[in-house]
Chains A and B, each alone.
Chain A
Amino acid sequence: MPAVVVDNLVKEFRRFQRREGLAGAVKDLFRRDYQALRAVDGVSFSIERGERIGYIGPNGAGKSTTIKMLTGILTPTSGEIAALGLSPHRQRKQYVRRIGVVFGQRTQLWWDLAVVESLKLLLQIYEVPRAEGEARLAKLRELLALDEFLHTPVRKLSLGQRMRADLAASLLHGPELLFLDEPTIGLDLVAKDAIRALLKRVNDELGTTILLTTHDLRDIEALAQRVMVIDGGKIVYDGSLEQLRDEAGEEASAEIELLEPASLEELRRLLPQVRFAQDNPLRLRAQFSKRELPAAQLLARLVGSLKVADIALPEPSIEEVIRRIYEKTGKSAMVAAKAAGGGAAAASR
């Protein structure tokens, strides 16, 4: 049985629409217009135990809102979540005992207390039996290398140290699921690498199922076996990282350096399937579909008709891949949904 099953999840927020001008402001006093915003719009997926999933999307796409519903903090407008056999918001207290949550931009530690004091308080709050708690704390101290700042107040930690401490805090009660909202935000490259490696070890050694949201696609490359892409409140991709690359990888590009200038018109006549762009007379960029024109054929045609100094075929970066997916779905940012039934979105109160 999957650890989490999400079925047709929807979260709508109401946003107060201000009218313009003085007359509008007066009107607002008597009649307020609200616009319904669907932050999450019919999302369905399931998560198996032990998976490491990256959940990505542009700002306002609905990532954090999904995570907040999965952790029982927000009540869905409609749709169902069954996580560990529980309903997160209805059985919140029972449920959060079995999950760990890390919000990259906030700490769950006591700002003014030493790390070890915060961790011991959390053991108490989660009512972890003493022996079990001590064993787990010892394990986490080793795994997350906490000893160097165990007795430092949280406010004096570097961001990377704080994230390690927060990670420890979220794992102390032995959660089966770990949700991380932007765990690497603001960290430097070294600290990011460290957190990624740690999360991987947590997953490997403790068997914790991990779902993380991120803006940093290297997090996904380093960690995720599976990627879910959300845009405009809808899941636009759910699958393996490789498959994501393959799908988008049909679109290829080439960078060509020439020994002698070539005319663009001529090239376009020669290879009509390819979109050429010229950086300068001796540098060209070509975009093409591998299905329409295998790369080898492109190379042969170019070398046959031009004086080529160098040709590079860069792998599409994951950023590029994601950008293409967003373009395909033709949406970005939060989409203002019409109120249920498709009528006017305005409602007054």
Chain B
Amino acid sequence: MNPARALHLPAYLGFFSGQFRKMLAYRTRYVTGIVSYLVYVTTYYYLWRAVFSHRAAGAEVAGYTLDQMVTYVAISWIARSAYFNNVDREIAEQVQNGSIAVALSRPVSLQGTVVAAALGEGLFRFCFFTLPIGAVILLLFPVGAPASPLHAAAFLVSCALSQVILTHVNFLVGMCAFPLKNIDGVMRMKHYLIEILSGLLLPVALFPGWLQALSSWLPFQAIAYVPSSLWLGHLRGPAPAGGPLAWLAAEPGQLVARALLVQLLWVAFLAVLSNLVWRRAARRLVVQGG
């Protein structure tokens, strides 16, 4: 049997394409989002300018020059505009209003459906959100080019992996809605955890040593820190080079491979964990309403 058929890829492609088209119906909603991303990048741009203002030209903070720091911030936010999603909130809503029943009446796994739809959303965001945001930010701020074509290619792959990692983190948070029903608090906690520990607001290399060590064993740094570091070619330092694969290699090509491998391992781990959690949740499922 054809392996694509055996995995029901055409079915999941349906959810991918359905979500893409659904987002397309709401594309004007994203115009305002461009402004908020611009505000974030502007804020952090001036913040880092202020931090570096009393230092000599070319000085480094935790291994970053001002130019690199500005690039890191801009690229991190541009990447976020593509990989971000609200899978957790969507699952919680479906559990709360009972429409989860419809999702379960389909001959596919909920997890696969959620991931496929999130990827469809990712493609939409990339085309209609990231490209305009990226163009505006690149025009307004002195963003450095990727370290090399290899790093540029690795960055794109890495963003896609970030998306799958975040989707699974959100899926797991969404699963909390089965026992808890209301997960606003959990979602808010996750939001701040990700903002900080992913390295979106601050490169992980600036964290105190113990937090760097801790975050190299958590999936969050694989969401923002890894792709942005790939763009910069900034793969030395403890994380993401530390953690599970710290023993592996030191050449640039190998460092790139290692960064992607770290992400892949997180994808695999979170996918398996999500599956286990879902199986447990399904057994205890209570569908609300008529």
Contacts and interface: CB of A to CB of B under 8 A. Distances in A.
Interface string B79-109: 0000000000000000000110110111111
B15 interface: yes
The bracket for how many chain A residues form the interface is 35 or more
Contacts of A125: 11, 14-15, 106-108
Contacts of A75: 282-283, 285
A113 B22 contact: yes
Contact of A93 (B13, B25, B109, B290): B109
Interface in A177-203: 181-182
B104 A92 contact: yes
Of A13, A73, A108, A122, the most chain B CB neighbours within 10 A belong to: A73
Nearest to B94: A106
A66 interface: no
Interface string A70-95: 01111100000000000000001110
Given A73-B287, A113-B25, A96 B105 contact: yes
Interface string A92-126: 11101100010111111011110001100110111
B106 A96 contact: yes
B107 A97 contact: yes
Contact of B105 (A104, A108, A118): A108
Contact of B107 (A13, A96, A103, A181): A96
Contact of A72 (B8, B17, B104): B104
Nearest to B25: A112
B152 interface: no
Of B26, B99, B106, the most chain A CB neighbours within 10 A belong to: B106
Nearest to A120: B14
B238 interface: no
Contact of B285 (A74, A113, A153): A74
B6 to A, nearest CB: 11
A127 B15 CA distance: 12
B58 interface: no
Interface string B251-290: 0000000000000000000000000000000110111011
B287 A68 contact: yes
A253 interface: no
A126 B22 CA distance: 19
A161 interface: no
Contacts of A111: 22
Contact of B10 (A93, A108, A122, A124): A124
B191 interface: no
A172 to B, nearest CB: 12
Given A93-B107, A94-B107, A96-B106, A121 B18 contact: yes
Nearest to A14: B286
A64 interface: yes
A126 B286 CA distance: 25
B21 interface: yes
Contacts of B13: 124
Given A75-B283, A121-B18, A126 B11 contact: yes
Interface in A142-174: 153
A174 to B, nearest CB: 13
A329 to B, nearest CB: 22
A106 B101 contact: yes
A264 to B, nearest CB: 44
B101 A103 contact: yes
Contacts of B107: 93-94, 96-97, 125-126
A97 B13 CA distance: 17
A247 B148 CA distance: 85
Contacts of B290: 64, 103-105, 181-182
Interface of B: 5, 8, 10-11, 13-15, 17-18, 21-22, 25-26, 98-99, 101-102, 104-109, 282-283, 285-287, 289-290
Given A71-B104, A71-B105, 7 more contacts: A93-B108, A103-B290, A107-B102, A126-B107, A127-B8, A127-B10, A182-B290
Query: Closest 9 A-B residue pairs measured CB to CB?
Result: A112-B25, A124-B14, A97-B107, A125-B14, A101-B105, A73-B104, A125-B11, A108-B102, A121-B14
11 contacts: A13-B286, A73-B105, A96-B105, A97-B107, A103-B290, A117-B21, A121-B17, A125-B14, A126-B11, A126-B106, A153-B25
